[in-house]
Structure formats: C-alpha cells, structure tokens
Chains A and B, each alone.
Chain A
C-alpha cells in the first residue's frame, strides 16, 4: 500500500514569493491534515479536511495561506506571499476514522526555506 505522498520534498524561495505544496493521501482515507513543524517542535495543525470540506482551519493564517482538496482526494497548500517566519517543514497526514483521532499516517514533508 502506498503511503502519503508529498511534493516537493524541498523548496527554497525568496520572501514575498508564492509557494505551493501538494499531497496525495492514502487511498480510502477521507480525513486529510496539513501540519507545520518548526525546528525543534512538534507538528501543529493548520487545517483538517473531511472529504472535500475544511472542518477545522482555525490555525490557518488566512491572510496568506490557502488550501484546497479537490474531489476529496489530493490537496494543495499555498502560501502567498511567503515570509521569513514561514520557514518550516509542512507535513501532510491522512487517517481513516473521522470521529475520534486515531492513528494518522504522515508523508515525508516539504522543507520550506524562505530567504
């Protein structure tokens, strides 16, 4: 079974530039998560999707971040414009059960460096 796929793995951009991350969850997983992980910290949830609906985006900085999940499968997270403080690893995860959080399956992440 293929795991969660993310691309790109690494991205270096200058501040004020846009950037986008892509995620393909495990087949059949209806719940998809985007996390941000700063250096030396645990992941922090940015947004959670149930199928194509964003059900928790309270931690998403909506002035510059946007996300979409077309047809309830793949998802894209976008930052425009990027700031120096956005440098982090962006992790995508998916899970099968949506009622109570059980185990989540993580992709390898995209390491973003904003210069």
Chain B
C-alpha cells in the first residue's frame, strides 16, 4: 500500500516556469524524501526533510513540510527541459527502516 499521494498526477509547463508538486500522507513520519525518476531509469534522491523542519532548499529545489496537515510540497524554480521526469515523495516512519512511496507526479517541461 502506498502512503503518499501526489498531486497533480501530471503537470506540463514551459521552460523557465516554476513547478509545484504536492504530497499528502497519513501517519506520523520521521522524515519525508523526494525522488526523481527519468524515463526507464532508477530513482535519484533529491532532498530529505525531517519532521522537525519546515522548509529546506537545495539548488533550484524548495521543499516544505507541514506535519499538522500531513503534507509536503516540492517547488522546482526556473524549470528546464531536463527536469522532465516523474517525481515521487516517500515517507519514513519513526521506527522500522522502510520508505513508502507515493504514485508520483509526471512533470513535462516544454522547451
């Protein structure tokens, strides 16, 4: 079963625009992670935010976490065609070494 639910399921934007993806989850977490998957390839870790953090930045990525609403968002600024991929959120519980992935958001950046 998948805990995270991403929204939207698919997103199409022009190069240079910002892309925002959302993730909602159900149970308490230790941390939340975002991964990117290019077509036909494995997942690549993008960023991790702990439950006691509210916002984190990494290059053009900005992640927020609202534990009261059990939701997170991933913002990609100044998007590029190379950002075209599927993006997944994954939640980590306090106990047990297990990530639970959502169904992902498909991002298409048009040049």
B97 touches A48 (CB 8 A): yes
Binds A, one of B65-73, B76-84, B98-106: B98-106
Q: Which of A4, A41, A98 has the most CB of B within 10 A?
A: A41
A105 touches B98 (CB 8 A): no
In angstroms, Cα B19 to Cα A87, docked, is 32
Q: For residue B104, which residues in chain A have a CB less than 8 angstroms away from its CB?
A: 40-42
Q: For residue B42, which residues in chain A have a CB less than 8 angstroms away from its CB?
A: 4, 91, 93, 106-109
Count of A interface residues, CB-CB < 8 Å? 28
Q: For residue B98, which residues in chain A have a CB less than 8 angstroms away from its CB?
A: 45, 48, 56, 101
B92 touches A101 (CB 8 A): yes
Interface assignment of B30: CB less than 8 Å from any CB of chain A: yes
**Residues of chain B from 30 to 88 with CB closer than 8 A to chain A in the complex:** 30-31, 33, 35, 40-45, 48, 88
**Could you list 10 further interchain pairs (A-B, Cβ under 8 angstroms) beyond the known A42-B88, A101-B92, A104-B43?**
A45-B100, A50-B97, A56-B98, A99-B97, A100-B31, A100-B97, A101-B93, A101-B99, A107-B42, A108-B42
* Chain B residues in the interface with A (C-beta under 8 A): 2, 4, 30-31, 33, 35, 40-45, 48, 88, 90, 92-94, 96-104
* Chain A residues in the interface with B (C-beta under 8 A): 4, 31, 40-45, 48, 50, 55-56, 91, 93, 95, 98-109, 111
